[in-house]
Structure 1
Amino acid sequence: MRVAKKNKIAMRMFRLVQQKLMKRSFAHIYIKADFPIPNNALYIANHSSWWDGLLLFELEQRGYIPNLFVMVDEQGIKKFPIFQWIGAYSVNQQNPKHIKESIRYTKSLLQDGKNICIFPQGKEWHLEQRPLYFQQGAAMIAKQVKDVPVVPITIYYTFRNERKAEVWIGIGKPIQYEDKWSREQMTQYFEEVVTEQLNALKKDVVQNDYTSFIKI
């Protein structure tokens, strides 16, 4: 697997480029979070766009999720090696040995006080896909690092009356679950929580309800 190689200089330079790309692509970015956000957590997010990981990087740079690492598909890092320098590390879902290595690495980062975000869907799915089809990786990690909260993140993209898109992001409360649950039960529950939060986020978008959101 390819481990993260965070580098402050590379992160600073990458963000300069990213901010230009974001200005060209998005009219507005809104975020709603249940504060306080944990300092050390396993974040699980829906995955519908190439932008998802980069938006998480932006949240880190703005101080919403400090010291963030993101698990991404190995092909993505092979295509964009610089992702390793901003906190991405790889998983090869076709290789059981590689999956175990990625989970061990994730566990070590969490135990070291870092924040991790993974995409339990395993790949990009259409934003309106239901069910979300979560894989069991998040549950496997949660069972091994029981004292670290699991926090849902939902990302919703939309177009309105401007040429560029909007992004709405929700960071929820830590998920309450039973340690005695099996991986299958836990995975199903994680999927249900993220689905409910994503649907609620969509409702806010449709109803133009900015009440609880901050524009960043």
Structure 2
Amino acid sequence: MDFIPAKESPFFITLFRYYTRFLFKRRFSRVWLKQGYSPGRRSKAIYYLNHHSWWDGLIPFLLNEYRFHQQARALMEDKQMRAYRFFQKIGAFSINRADRRSAIRSLRYAVASFERPRASLFIYPEGTITPAGSALEFEGGLAWLSQQLPQVDVVPIGIYMHTIRRDKPELHLQVGSPVEPPPTLSTQERTHRFEQELETIIADLRQHAGFNDSIYERFL
């Protein structure tokens, strides 16, 4: 399958910003945020997230438009890109994980995207939607990108949905601090370090989300 590049449309992004906010307010009773990282004026960042639902595809856009304000792009499975072509207009580009050569092309495109000022990238390193509660098993793309872009912040973001208090679900998001693995680590070791950092955040979400509102702020 052919590679699908990002083709951002400022006009579409403006309209879609308000539509996305409306969707989340309608779908969730509350959206909460614990933010341990805010990009500086010249910061560039790779944000990596756990992937358990369809809504995960819109969370990066929501966070970037209302908090991070960077030139954001996102890696997205090629099958999903073809099913939801509008993602191309908000900065998504495709990756075919079944074809090594194609996957490498997508990762190189991601690296080239960081030539833009205040660039960022959102990535789901598990590569596909996984059952909530399962152990994280990342593919090697995130570690490879971090090696190619040593000056870029690598930031974990945990996503957790629950119906502890209401029949309508609540969404909790937790943005961690940048992960800085030693440069001597192998790709496998770096991958494991990134997994551990996100697993710690998810464990924190499971312990506190729905029980202690004081450590979160109301996002939506």
> Structure 2 length normalisation: TM-score?
0.92
SS in 1 for 2:167: coil
Q: Displacement of 1:63 after TM fit?
A: 2.8
Aligned twin of 1:10: 12
Does residue 68 of structure 1 match 2:72? yes
Query: Is the Cα contact below 8 Å between 2:38 and 2:68 reproduced in 1?
Result: no
Aligned twin of 1:214: 217
Q: Displacement of 1:3 after TM fit?
A: 1.0
Q: Displacement of 1:65 after TM fit?
A: 4.7
Does residue 169 of structure 1 match 2:173? yes
Structure 2: stretches of 5+ with no match in the other structure: none
Deviation sequence 1:144-178 (CA, Å, 0-9, x none): 11111211111101113333211100111110211
Task: Specify which of 20, 25, 28 is matched with residue 26 of structure 1.
Answer: 28
**Aligned equivalents of 1:19 and 1:42: distance in 2?**
23
> Structure 1 length normalisation: TM-score?
0.94
**Aligned equivalents of 2:115 and 2:14: distance in 1?**
26
Does residue 55 of structure 1 match 2:59? yes
**Aligned equivalents of 2:88 and 2:138: distance in 1?**
24
SS in 2 for 1:147: coil
Q: Displacement of 1:43 after TM fit?
A: 1.0
Task: Specify which of 191, 200, 205 is matched with residue 201 of structure 1.
Answer: 205
Deviation sequence 1:64-91 (CA, Å, 0-9, x none): 3522211111111100000000111110
**Aligned equivalents of 1:149 and 1:23: distance in 2?**
30
Query: Is the Cα contact below 8 Å between 1:42 and 1:110 reproduced in 2?
Result: no
SS in 2 for 1:162: coil
Aligned residues: 214
Task: Specify which of 133, 139, 142 is matched with residue 135 of structure 1.
Answer: 139
Q: Displacement of 1:61 after TM fit?
A: 1.4
Aligned twin of 2:44: 40
Query: What letter matches 1:199 in structure 2?
Result: A
Runs of 4+ with >6 A deviation: none
Does residue 98 of structure 1 match 2:102? yes
Deviation sequence 1:38-76 (CA, Å, 0-9, x none): 531111111111111201111111133522211111111
Query: Is the Cα contact below 8 Å between 2:39 and 2:68 reproduced in 1?
Result: yes
Q: CA RMSD in A?
A: 1.4
